[in-house]
Structure 1
Amino acid sequence: MKTDRELQEDVLEELDWEPSVNASRIGVEVKDGVVTLEGKVDSYTEKWAAERAVKRVSGVRSLAMDLEVALNASLSRTDTDIATAAKNVIDWNASIPKDAVKIVVEKGWVTLSGDVPWAFIREAADRAVRGLLGVKGVINQIAISPPVEPRNIKTKIEAALYRRAHVDASAITVGVNKSTVTLSGKVDSLAEREIIEQAAWSAPGVKSVVDNLIVT
């Protein structure tokens, strides 16, 4: 197991390795495997990239994002401009059903709501707006309303986990109660935890996923 000092060094190196992140403006603190990022970034996209970089590092048990999105004048946009741009990119996204997603923008923060049949659509909406100029953060409140009744969810998710590389499916327990999936067990990184959660969301009929996975 890595010491906090070793983990801090690995996180700093991973941030420095990520070309879309200015690592010199980010401070990293680690205590008992919990990583905290502090500082300022130029865009929400950079903040998101920093988060993804840290999740790739083995040994990170949890992550606190205290990064502030400090837009310079050339990147600032009014809430109206952001709302218009967000509507356009969602309307033009072939993965998102027309009029399924509602958008509210306040002080640069974009809130998404509505109902969609699959989790990948919710993620597509999130991905579409987080790279827009002027966005300081995204709150995704889109709900999943499956078009089909859940059937053999447990078997399908377990099969999907065994197909995925870098996932020890034997260490994961999948529990199903109607349309809710509960994941438990141990994983090596936050990135692996995310892969497993995405696999659960891909099963037909899943409405919610409870992630009780522990990063060791």
Structure 2
Amino acid sequence: MPNRDQVVRQVLAAIEWETRNDGQNSPIGLTFSAGTLMLVGEVANIAAKKRALKAAAGVDGVRAIADHLRVAAGSTPGDGATRDAVCKLLAGSIDFRNCGLHARVKGLLETLQDAGPEASGTIEVAVEDGVVTLSGQVISLSHKRLAGVLAWWAQGCRDVVNALAVVPSEEDNDHEIVDALHLVLEADPYVHADRIGIGSTDHVVTLEGVVSSHGEKSRAEMDAWYLYAVDGVINRLEVR
């Protein structure tokens, strides 16, 4: 069993290697004790965050990870504005029109949307220091994943804790990830979903097709990274 200093050195080396193409320049703080590794700091984007977590988890001796990595958000509008933006995106999505929608404001729960006649769940939104927490329940894993991506789209969001329960429960698989990403890309006004092919193997997404700009290519890739339980993205989109 490697000692604490060895684990920390190996994790730092693994993270540096994994995030080398993600524009990750800020140092990540590490604390390791009794098999639990805590990661603290700011990362360039969601890809750098997930790659860092995956790299750390693969180091011998790391049994659990406490994730306190936050994505750089630039100038932030404040937690209230971020919370309102998340709620607006959820309320504007046809997939959540029958969901109850609530916001946690200064410790109090405000109802923004009552559940429809065919209730499809309830979502509570809270934001603290740019971290969006989604709690409640939805009817499918696709809804859980879509809600999480909509939260990531909100200005000022630095991380998403997606604690939504799926009722009835569903077994996750790659087909579910593909279905969820189709929903996300169709909801994204900045990409042409019909031009993008999606595959997934062992929770690693592959994007293929033709897009009109490098910005659209990057946007589609970030949408895939934002998905709950996606571990990697291979971007083969061509710009024409």
Length-normalised TM-score, structure 1: 0.50
RCO higher in structure (CA 8 A, sep ≥6)? 1
